[in-house]
Amino acid sequence: MARDLDETLSQADYEALATLRYTLRKFMDFSTSAAHQEGLPPQQHQALLAIKGNPENETMTIGMLAERLLIAPHTATELVGRLIDAGYVTRHPDPADKRRQTLRLTEKSEEILRRLTAIHLREIRDMAPELIDILTHLQADVGGK
């Protein structure tokens, strides 16, 4: 059950939330650095991962990419243009709806994404015990009050 907004927060609540945010920032910093080492801006890495991680039975469109990245559709269109120019993505008319454009990764982006995903998974596995402890503390705190 969620806490009432009027409920008094403890110092432990602030500490747990601060620790969670710090841990997430450390991961994002790691992710940004890893993407840069592969020559990708972080947003392009996120876009490639969103396209690759889309369920196999669904085609990725620019609108879906905008939704997945929490960006405006025109921003997604510009991002896709940069990905196409860099040789990471191809754009094709949707056979079911010619007004929509579907996106596919190129072999170049598949190779980069394989490397980035492998190191990200290692980092997440290293961080998992710390994250689990933080989240368990926060969950127990919510249930206990």
pLDDT at 141: 62
- Report residues of the chain scoring pLDDT below 70: 1-6, 141-145
Domains, the chain, with CATH or none: 42-140 (1.10.10.10)
Task: Read off the pLDDT of residues 6-18 as tens digits, 9 standing for 90 and up.
Answer: 578 889 889 999 9
Residues 60/103, Cβ–Cβ less than 8 Å: yes
94 Cβ contact partners less than 8 Å away, ≥ 6 residues apart: 59, 61, 100, 101, 102
pLDDT at 95: 84
pLDDT at 8: 84
pLDDT at 9: 87
pTM of the model: 0.87
